[in-house]
């Protein structure tokens, strides 16, 4: 424990529709039993987790852990990367996963659950992880992400899932996907640049993945590795409504690449602009734009250390 003597725990109380707040007594009991010296802080507003994470690095904390879902993890990652920019040093990132989708944690090798998350935090096994940076929309100067960028259909699914209060986790995303089939089915015409090529086509869904999964069960890039210096791309062309459900089911199995509607690729830099229509974009589930015109995405290799169950295997 000497190496990570000071651990800062950042809890989003509203994550998982209150699961963040409800998890605090159990987290405190487990960490005390595991003899982890920690400070626990609650977020109070959007972007507060990023501010707390950056401040924790400034105060000398060696590990900063996010308790929540994808949004909380994304904010903590941004805080750690901003500390790295300002101080030329950062902290190891931890995750205790109690949110809805938990795709960031999944890609990082952290299973859902308080007990597992605390055990990983106590063991302290680290691995290096690539970090993505997206520039455009609400963030012309850039925002970092750890799991992936979604452009088009899955961004609208996320908006619709947030409106569903009678379901949580993957079921809410699946219902939202079915609803989105009828709301968002006209693919914009886009121009994409990656891997030294320019591609112009209509595309209903574009995934730029550092991790593997989105929406709790949709395997956007089942072979992706987040420590290989490149993104995995999955581009769905124009899809007729009658074929959408079948394609959604393929995404759940991770077999969409077998469809003639899908193109895949790998790149460290990706740029896109809308030629007709506009772009709805998210990064780790956080809105980048709802009707954007273009953006760029770059992969920053092995930028941060993360505590992971998979640390020894990768």
What pLDDT, on a 0 to 100 scale, did the predictor assign at position 165? 78
Give pLDDT, residue 161: 84
In 147-219, where do the E strands start and end? 148-152, 189-194, 197-209
Could you list the beta-strand ranges (E) of the chain.
Answer: 7-11, 38-42, 63-68, 92-97, 126-136, 139-145, 148-152, 189-194, 197-209, 231-237, 262-267, 269-276, 279-283, 286-292, 294-307
Hey, CA dihedral for 186, 188, 193, 198, is it positive or negative?
Answer: positive
Domain annotation for the chain: domains and CATH numbers: 2-124 (3.40.50.10330), 139-301 (2.60.200.40)
| pTM given for the model | 0.93
User: What does the pLDDT look like over 52-74, one tens digit per residue?
Assistant: 999 999 999 999 999 999 999 99
Which pLDDT value is given to residue 2?
A: 36
Per-residue pLDDT tens digits of the chain, which is 314 residues long = 334 458 999 999 999 889 999 999 999 999 999 999 999 999 999 999 999 999 999 999 999 999 999 999 999 999 999 999 999 999 999 999 998 889 999 999 999 999 999 999 999 999 999 999 999 999 999 999 999 999 999 899 888 888 887 777 778 888 888 888 887 768 899 999 999 999 999 999 999 999 999 988 899 999 999 999 999 999 999 998 889 899 999 999 999 999 999 999 999 999 999 999 999 999 999 999 999 999 999 999 999 999 998 765 43
Could you tell me which residues are beta bridge partners of residue 231?
A: 267
Phi then psi dihedrals of residue 72, to 5 deg: -65, -45
The structure tokens listed for 145 are 């992400």
């Amino acid at each position: 424990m000497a190496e990570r003597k000071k651990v800062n725990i950042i809890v989003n109380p509203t994550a998982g529709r209150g699961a963040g707040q409800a998890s605090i007594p159990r987290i405190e009991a487990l960490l005390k039993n595991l003899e982890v010296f920690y400070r626990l802080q609650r977020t109070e507003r959007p972007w507060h987790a990023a501010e707390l994470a950056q401040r924790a690095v400034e105060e000398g904390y060696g590990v900063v852990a996010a308790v929540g879902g994808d949004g909380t993890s994304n904010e903590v990652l941004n805080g750690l990367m901003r500390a790295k920019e300002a101080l030329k040093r950062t902290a190891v990132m931890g995750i205790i996963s109690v949110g809805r989708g938990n795709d960031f944690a999944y890609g990082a090798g952290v299973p859902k659950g308080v007990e597992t998350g605390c055990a990983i935090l106590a063991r302290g096994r680290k691995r290096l992880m690539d970090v993505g940076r997206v520039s455009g929309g609400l963030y012309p100067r850039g925002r970092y992400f750890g799991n992936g960028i979604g452009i088009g259909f899955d961004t609208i699914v996320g908006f619709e899932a947030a409106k569903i209060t009678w379901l949580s986790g993957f079921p809410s995303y699946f219902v939202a996907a079915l609803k989105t089939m009828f709301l968002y089915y006209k693919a914009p015409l886009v121009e994409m640049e990656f891997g030294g090529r320019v591609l112009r086509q209509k595309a209903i869904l574009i995934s730029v993945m550092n991790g593997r999964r989105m929406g709790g069960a949709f395997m956007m890039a089942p072979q992706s590795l987040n420590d290989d210096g490149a993104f995995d791309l999955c581009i769905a062309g124009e899809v007729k409504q009658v074929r959408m459900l079948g394609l959604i089911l393929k995404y759940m199995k991770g077999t969409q690449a077998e469809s003639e509607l899908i193109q895949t690729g790998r790149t460290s830099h990706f740029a896109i602009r809308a030629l007709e229509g506009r772009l709805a974009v998210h990064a780790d589930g956080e809105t980048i734009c709802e009707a954007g015109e273009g953006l760029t995405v770059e992969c920053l290799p092995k930028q941060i250390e993360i505590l992971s169950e998979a640390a020894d295997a990768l």
